[in-house]
Amino acid sequence: MNTVNQTNEKQIHLKREDLMDDPYALYERLREIYPIYKGRMLKQSGWFVTGYKEAALILKEPSFFTRIPLPESTEKYGQLKRVQSKMMLYMNNQDHRKLRLLVNKAFTPKQVEKFRPLIEEVIDSLLDELIVKKEFDVVSEFAFPLTSLVIATILGVPQEDRGRFRVWASALLQSIDFSRSHKTLEDSDRLIGELNDYFTLVIDKKRKNPGHDLISKLIKEQDKITNEELIATSILLVIAGHETTVNLISNTVLAFAKHPAEWELLKSDSSLVAPAIEEVLRYESPTQLTARVAMKDIEIAGQELKSGDQIYLLLGAANRDPDVFENPNKFIISRKATPHLSFGMGGHFCLGSTLARLEAHAALAALIQHVDKLELASHDIKWRKLVGFRSLEQLKIHTVHASK
C-alpha cells in the first residue's frame, strides 16, 4: 500500500484512505513533487499524473492509446475479462473506431435532445414527491431513479429491471476501481455472467420483436457488430450510463449545499446552470482516474517512461492544476471557461457526455425552481470506498422549498 518511489527525488506514501476521503490534498502534494510521479498504490505501480498539460497530452497521444481491462495477470476472472475486452472503453484503433461510430449514432446531440421531455417529466414527478418529505436522499431517491429510467429507456429494457441494474452497476464499478479485492473480482465475474445471460435474452426477444430502442437498432447492424460486442456494449452503457451521472447530480447538490452563496447566485441567474455543471465536473469530477499503458519508450515532462509502463491519469487532480485554473480549490460557478478533463479527451472522450449534461442541467434547473435552500441533513458525508470515482454513499438533504 505504501510507496517507495524510485525515480523522484522526494518520496511520498500513497495511501488509499487519503485518496478516498479527500484526495485533493494528496494530489497537490504529488503535483508539487512532479506532475507525473512514479509510485505504487494498492499493489499497482506506475506513473501517477496530476498535471493538466501532461494528462491532456497522454489522453490525446495515440502512442498511449492502449487500455487493458484487468492488470492482474490471471485468467481467473475469465468472464469479466472476455466481456471487458469487447467493450469499446478497452478497445483500441480500428476495432474501437468501428464500434464507437455505430453506438455514437444514439448519443448525438440531436438524438439525446429527444429524451429531454422524458427527463424533465421524470425530474418533476420525483421532486413533487420528494420536496414534501422535507428530507430525502439525493442519491437513491432522486439521482438513481432518474438516470436508471433514462438508460433503460434508451436501451429498451423493461423499467421494472432497474433495481437489478443498480446492483449490477454498483458492483461492476467496484471491479474496475483500484481498490478492488479478489473477492470483488470474483463477485463481478459471477455478476457479469448474470448480465450476459440477461442481455442474451433481451437481444433474442428483440430479434423477434424489434422496437425503436438502441439494442433493436444495433441488431439491425449485425454485419458491423458481433453478438458479443452487442452484449458488452449494453453492459457498458448500463454501468457508464448511470453510475457516473448519479455521481454528477449528487456531487452538484453537495457542492451547492456547502456553498450557499453560489446557490443564491445561481437562483438569481438561471443562465448559470450550464456553467455551474461544468464547474461541478471540474471541482468534484465523478471519474477521478483513468488508465493507459505506454506503447513505446517516451519522455514526458523530463521523466522517462518505458514501453509497458502503466499510467494513471488523475483527472480530478488535472482539473485543479493551478497552471490552468485560477483558485483551483474554490467552487466558482461564474468561471469564464472550464476546460476540465472529467469526460476524458481524445479518441475515448465520453460518449455519453451530452446525455449526462442534459440530465444534470435539467435536474439543477428543476432544483432551483422547487427548492429555496439546500441544507445538509447530516454533516457526516460518506464517500464510497473507491479511488477512481467520486461517489457519495448517500446525501440526505433538508429542503426549504420555494412555491412552484
Q: Give the shortest CB-8-to-ligand HEM separation in angstroms.
A: 25
User: Which span (45-53, 195-203, 252-260, 345-353) binds ligand HEM, by CB under 6 A?
Assistant: 345-353
252 near ligand HEM, rule: CB under 6 A: no
Name the maximum alpha-carbon separation found in the chain.
Answer: 64
Q: Which residue, among 333, 398, 394, has the nearest Cα to 371 in the 3D structure?
A: 398
275 near ligand HEM, rule: CB under 6 A: no
* Options 146, 311, 351, 362; binder of ligand HEM; rule CB under 6 A: 351
d(CA 229, CA 88): 8
Give whichever of 303 and 319 is closer to ligand HEM, judged by the CB atom: 319
Q: Binding string to ligand HEM for residues 56 to 95, with x set by CB under 6 A, is what?
A: --------------------------------xx------
Give whichever of 88 and 130 is closer to ligand HEM, judged by the CB atom: 88
Tally of CB atoms within 10 A around 326? 9
Secondary element (H or E) of residue 137: strand 135-137
- Are the C-beta atoms of residues 317 and 59 closer than 8 Å to each other? no
In this chain, which residue has its C-beta nearest to ligand HEM?
352
Q: Give the shortest CB-104-to-ligand HEM separation in angstroms.
A: 8
List of residues 6+ apart from 376 with CB closer than 8 A: 254, 257, 258, 395, 396, 397, 398
d(CA 121, CA 213): 19
148 near ligand HEM, rule: CB under 6 A: no
User: Which span (12-20, 193-201, 244-252, 257-265) binds ligand HEM, by CB under 6 A?
Assistant: 244-252
Can you say whether the dihedral through the CA atoms of 126, 147, 276, 261 is positive or negative?
Answer: positive
399 near ligand HEM, rule: CB under 6 A: no
Number of residues near ligand HEM (by CB under 6 A): 23
- Match 506514501 to its residue by C-alpha cell: 13
Give whichever of 33 and 293 is closer to ligand HEM, judged by the CB atom: 293
Give whichever of 355 and 387 is closer to ligand HEM, judged by the CB atom: 355
236 near ligand HEM, rule: CB under 6 A: yes
Residue 283: HSE in the Cβ half-sphere, 13 Å Cα cutoff: 24
* Options 12, 126, 356, 365; binder of ligand HEM; rule CB under 6 A: 356
12 near ligand HEM, rule: CB under 6 A: no
R_g of the chain computed on alpha carbons:
21
- Are the C-beta atoms of residues 329 and 31 closer than 8 Å to each other? no
In which order are the strands placed within the sheet that holds 310-314? Answer: 36-41, 44-49, 310-314, 289-293
Give whichever of 12 and 360 is closer to ligand HEM, judged by the CB atom: 360
d(CA 157, CA 199): 9
* Options 26, 276, 332, 355; binder of ligand HEM; rule CB under 6 A: 355
- Separation of first and last alpha carbons in the chain: 51
Give whichever of 112 and 130 is closer to ligand HEM, judged by the CB atom: 112
Give whichever of 13 and 346 is closer to ligand HEM, judged by the CB atom: 346
DSSP state of 143: I
Question: Burial of 239 by CB count in 10 Å (0-12 exposed, 13-18 middle, 19+ buried)?
Answer: buried
Residues that bind ligand HEM (CB under 6 A): 88-89, 100, 151, 236-237, 240-241, 244-245, 248, 286-287, 290, 342-344, 348, 350-352, 355-356
